[in-house]
Structure 1
Amino acid sequence: MMHMNWPVIYPELLLLVLACAVALVDLFVQDPKRRPTFWLAQVSLAVVAALHLLQAHEGVTLYGMQDMVVADPMGHLLAFFSAVAVMVTLAYAQPYIGPRDMLKGEFFTLAMFVLLGICVMVSANNFLVVYLGLELMSLSLYALVALRRDNATATEAAMKYFVLGALASGFLLYGLSMMYGATGTLEIPGVLAAISTGQVNDTVLVFGLVFVVAGLAFKLGAAPFHMWVPDVYHGAPTAVTLLIAGAPKLAAFGMTIRVLVDGLFGLAVEWQQMLIVLALASLVLGNLAAIAQSNLKRMLAYSAIAQMGFMLLALASGVVGQEDADRVHNAYSSAMFYMVTYTLTTLGTMGLVMLLSREGFESEEITDLAGLSRRAPWMAGVMAVFMFSLAGIPPTVGFYAKLAVLQALVTTGVSGYVWLAIIAVLLSLIGAFYYLRIVKVMYFDEPPQGAPAVLQGSGVNALLAVNGAAVLVLGILPSGLMAMCRDAIVKALTS
């Protein structure tokens, strides 16, 4: 454990400088396709991702800025995956945003600020830093949703997102202020130490916990704090929907681990009960509501709510009765693995929806995929792989991720948790229905009359193929990524 200042935050400082550079360079770009801006943003993100990966491999935990910031393998790994997710998002978005009057420098700069907010959140060791990162990420996303000013649907989605997001931020801040009132400190390790003394006012603490969990549940999009998810996913331009559905989920996971596990571990029994309620509500509502959707983006939004429910089950199975550290690490690392692989699959699914859209036409109804196997066979194949992964069908990575979560539940040896695992499996069977319906529409339905040939840009197609291959390969060989997640969690909880 080392205390330093600037080295701890230099990837974030570099990202801030590069984001400002992208904004300035864009002022002088004449190319209508904004290629110099795009490539400068991608190179910048690649450099930041490489820095985080190198530091994650070093496996050292550093503290800086009066212990307000911690740089540990978990933070670096989440920041690395987030940076890669933003890079992939920008690559998928490039052909999509051009005809929609969104190909501006602001799109790239704001995407980089979203990533900066994520990096700040996952490296926070103080409640104020958590909140600072959250607001930086959220405000950039609100602006991105409203980037198409002339589009009524996008503007409405931005308003809903902004109002509900402000409400959730208020919940979180109120909860954190109660934590401060009860423990007298904003430092996450300080809160943990104060709770373990047993001298803290329990009433204030539990009230604060309720507000904190509500704020975290909103950011994860878990029911009953899910109201914004379907409307924002549907209303935002698909490129922005992907930006919301990808990297910020990793940030919300990082924030949950930092606040609940690092800071409020002494209250684990209380917050695990809350997470179980949220998880069951999300699984039931997400899976049942998704069946009724005819819009692909809304269906994916409800599917995201159900997937978050699954991940929360892993977080809720960490501390049960007399604990051995090994099982706790296993539960949290399976939750992290679930989030990383879910993000990977979501990137591909939304990327494909963008690829199928063209000028003046959004390919977002499920019927728009009819007969895709005849119009673009390999695209239908890749989409089928993503759907199988989301449904948890082997040999895709989604199957292994769900299996890891169920294993975390069953190995508690408590009958209640075993029942939770059974309920989760039954609700996943309902989920399989609407994922497989997409496959059925692509392969067995007739293409609509006059359906145009699918336009295929070579670069994006190659990326989509790699994305699909990653979902399959990680499903067959998951141990490397699982070991990375486990190592990161162990170091985050023991440092």
Structure 2
Amino acid sequence: MIDSLSWATVYPELLLLGMACVIAIYDLFVTSPLRGATHRLTLLTLAVVAVLTGYAAASGETIAGFGGMVVSDPMGNWLKCFATIAMMVTLVYGRPYAGARDMLRGGEMFTLSMLALLGMFVMISGHNFLVIYLGLELLTLSSYALVALRRDDLKATEAAMKYFVLGALASGFLLYGLSLVYGATGSLDIPTVAQVIAAGVDQPQVLVLGLVFVVAGLAFKLGVVPFHMWVPDVYHGSPTAVTLIIGGAPKLAAFAIVIRLLVEGLVPLAFDWQQMVAVLAVVSLLVGNLAAIAQTNMKRMLAFSTIAQMGFMLLAFVAGVGAGGDGSNMANAYGAAMFYVVTYVLTTLATFGVLLLLTRQGFESEDIADLAGLNQRSPLYAGVLAVCMFSLVGVPPLVGFYAKLSVLQALLEAGGSAHLWLAVFAVLMSLVGAFYYLRVVKVMYFDAPTQTAPIEAPLDVRAVLSVNGALVLVLGIIPGGLMALCAQAVAAMLL
């Protein structure tokens, strides 16, 4: 019999699942092509879930349920809260775009978005290999369907097929790696796996081989080199609203499973996986930044930018465990990684929010040239996008500067010449990245406008976008609260 404590660990997931089913049925009776009632009910549900997860995170309690297969801890609950808010913002930005392209006629976008968020929740809470894999598959299957939502669009269907094939391959990598770890340790529970590995296993070769496949599977979900092939094509081919669904909140869930699997489960093997992660981070920074320079399409440029940004975030994982298994820097390093991914998602939301604003019926604002003279058409939206670009570069006092600084500090505090050289390389790659980010600012402020159509947006979109852009600036001026929150949440997870 399952006790009440177990149900207490999953009540946000139960609410999401129940309301996703209710909204799917309710939408059958909605006749408006813009699905206003469905949209409002979805946002109300997500607002309640965000409040519940935020309250649970603020309480600081850690509860394990269902025999230890699921855990509710501050780190997981904050990530759930941020992911829910990110999904709410995404749906606010994306609804006018989707409505103009007949993507809301069946209401599937709202239901699939909620199911994708449910998958993220399960990934974040999972303390068992099978639970994490279940959440991962729920997220990816929902994402495949969202990418292919415009069935008459050749680019979208091609992107969905590429995403499906490569996603299935990556899921196979991860599942095979987890099965090898299970074979070597005899357990699927993450804490038990860590204890068995620390005590020593009979077949270390099998364990290390499993680790290689696990890291490869995680690298695909983060979209880092050499498992990045899907990112530019899926970002480019997907409807822009769906691109934001894929490129926003799921990054928080991907960070969570990296923490759960590598830090909580496989930390005795940190010497091995940190070397692999370091290589992934270096090549991602190199390839992502250099490839982004050559892009003229804004969505492809942001896709390669994502690859580089995730590579920068992975550097914090290299700094967690020092020589001889010294874990004194773990809370600092992984807290910096969490702060980095949260602020990156915040900036990505505002960036794509502006791109979605510039689209209209029959016109996709995808090329960098489409942003020409944006400041003359709308100083507010040009300012928001400029703030986001400067933040992604890492210009103070914007939040992106402190995100990069916290990762670099974690690297330097880890000690060792290798960490120093990694920090120097990361700074150099950030300078390279400044070229393509600042090119966008130059086009907005100094090029003659090619479009004269007025920029029209609903009040809710304008309000949310203004707050979103302001947060990128405000959290850069006073970053201490969010940084402390991330550090405390990770420290509580490590206890």
Q: What TM-score, normalized to structure 2?
A: 0.98
In structure 1, what is the Cα distance between the partners aligned to 2:191 and 2:203? 18
Assess if the C-alpha contact under 8 Å between 2:336 and 2:403 holds in 1.
Answer: yes
Query: For residue 284 of structure 1, what is the amino acid of its counterpart?
Result: L
Aligned mates of 1:390, 1:280 — CA distance in 2: 18
- Aligned pairs (5 A) from 1:207-286: 207-286=209-288
Cα deviation digits, residues 107-130 of structure 1 (max 9, x gap): 000000010000000000100001
Q: Is the contact made by 1:3 and 1:62 (CA closer than 8 Å) also made in structure 2?
A: no
Q: CA deviation at 1:316?
A: 1.1
List per-residue Cα deviations over 1:82-115 (Å, max 9, x = no partner): 0000000000011110111101311000000010
- How far residue 32 of structure 1 moved from its aligned partner, in angstroms, is 2.1
Query: What secondary structure does 1:63 align onto?
Result: strand
SS across alignment from 2:64? strand
For residues 68-83 of structure 1, what are the structure 2 equivalents within 5 Å? 68-83=69-84
Alignment check: 8 A CA contact 1:194 1:200 kept = no
| Distance (whole Å) between structure 2 residues aligned to residue 95 and residue 423 of structure 1 | 42
Distance in 1, Cα, partners of 2:319 & 2:261? 17
Structure 1 CA distance for aligned equivalents of residues 64 and 296 of structure 2: 49
Tell me if structure 2 keeps the 8 A contact 1:222–1:279. yes
Contact 2:374/2:445 (CA < 8 Å) preserved in 1?
yes
Opposite residue 316 of structure 1, the aligned amino acid is: V
Equivalent position SS for 1:179: helix
**Equivalence for 1:139:** 141
| SS at 1:364 equivalent | coil
Q: Distance in 1 between matches of 2:14 and 2:328?
A: 36
How far does the alpha carbon of each residue in 1:316-374 deviate from its partner, in whole angstroms, 9 at most, with x for none?
Answer: 11011156544210000000000000000000101110110000000000000001110
Q: Displacement of 1:173 after TM fit? A: 0.1
- 1:109 matched to 2:111? The reply is yes
- 1-structure distance, mates of 2:372, 2:202: 60
Amino acid at match of 1:91: V
Q: 2:177 aligns with which of 175, 178, 195?
A: 175
User: Which residue of the partner structure matches residue 204 of structure 1?
Assistant: 206
Determine the structure 2 residue equivalent to 1:458. Answer: 459
* Partner-residue secondary structure (3-state), 1:5: helix
Return the alpha-carbon distance in structure 1 between the equivalents of residues 214 and 324 of structure 2.
26
Residue in 2 that maps onto 1:471: 472
Query: What are the Cα deviations for residues 59-81 of structure 1, in whole angstroms up to 9, with x where unaligned?
Result: 11111112110111111011110
Greater Cα offset, 5-14 or 111-120:
5-14
Measured in 1, the distance between the counterparts of 2:111 and 2:179 equals 32
Could you tell me which amino acid in structure 2 is paired with residue 308 of structure 1?
Answer: M
Name the SS of the counterpart of 2:329 in structure 1: helix
After superposition, the C-alpha distances for 1:234-288 in whole angstroms (9 at most, x for unaligned) are 0000000000000100000000000000000000010000000000010000000
Q: Show CA shifts across 1:35-79 (max 9, x none).
A: 110000000011111110000011111111121101111110111
Indicate yes or no: 2:483 matched with 1:482: yes
* Structure 1 residue matching 2:288: 3-state secondary structure: helix
Tell me whether 204-213 or 485-494 shows the greater mean CA deviation.
Answer: 485-494
Distance 2:204 2:119 in 1: 32
Helix, strand or coil at the partner of 1:274 = helix
Q: Is there any run of 5+ residues in structure 1 with no aligned partner, and where?
A: none
Deviations 1:157-211 (A, max 9, x none): 0000000000000000000000000000000001001101113411000000000
Give the corresponding residue for 1:430. 432
Q: CA deviation at 1:493?
A: 1.1
- The Cα shift of 1:456 comes to 3.0
Structure 2 counterpart of 1:371: 373
The CA RMSD over aligned residues, in Å, is 1.1
Aligned to 2:289: 287
Query: Partner of 2:43 in structure 1?
Result: 42
Is it true that 1:51 corresponds to 2:52 in the alignment? yes
Letter in 1 for 2:385: M
Contact 2:320-2:327 at 8 Å conserved across structures: no
1:4 partner SS: helix
Distance in 1, matches of 2:457 and 2:249, equals 26
8 A contact 1:335–1:405 mirrored in 2: yes
Residue number in structure 2 paired with 1:348: 350
SS state of the match for residue 149, structure 1?
coil
Query: Structure 2: which 5+ residue stretches go unaligned?
Result: none
> What SS class does the counterpart of residue 258 from structure 1 fall into?
helix
Conserved? CA contact 2:13–2:122, under 8 Å: yes
Q: Which amino acid aligns with 1:50?
A: V
Give the secondary-structure state (helix, strand or coil) at the position aligned to 1:319.
coil
Partner-residue secondary structure (3-state), 1:355: helix
Residue 403 of structure 2 is matched in structure 1 by 401
* Distance in 1 between residues matched to 2:187 and 2:69, nearest whole Å: 12
Moved more, 28-37 or 259-268: 28-37
> Structure 2: how far apart are the matches of 1:318 and 1:364?
39
Match of 2:63 in 1: 62
Number of residue equivalences: 492
Structure 1 residue matching 2:415: 3-state secondary structure? coil
Alignment of 1:157-196 (within 5 A): 157-196=159-198
Q: Whole-Å Cα distance in 1 between the matches of residues 8 and 453 of structure 2?
A: 53
Please state if 1:96 is matched with 2:97.
yes
Counterparts of 1:320-331 in structure 2 under 5 Å? 320-322=322-324, 325-331=327-333
1:5-44 equivalences under 5 Å are: 5-44=6-45
Offset at 1:221?
0.3
CA positional deviation for 1:405: 0.3
CA contact (8 A) 2:80 2:124 kept: yes
Amino acid of the residue matched to residue 400 of structure 1?
Answer: Y
Percent same amino acid among aligned pairs?
A: 63
1:307 aligns with 2:309: yes
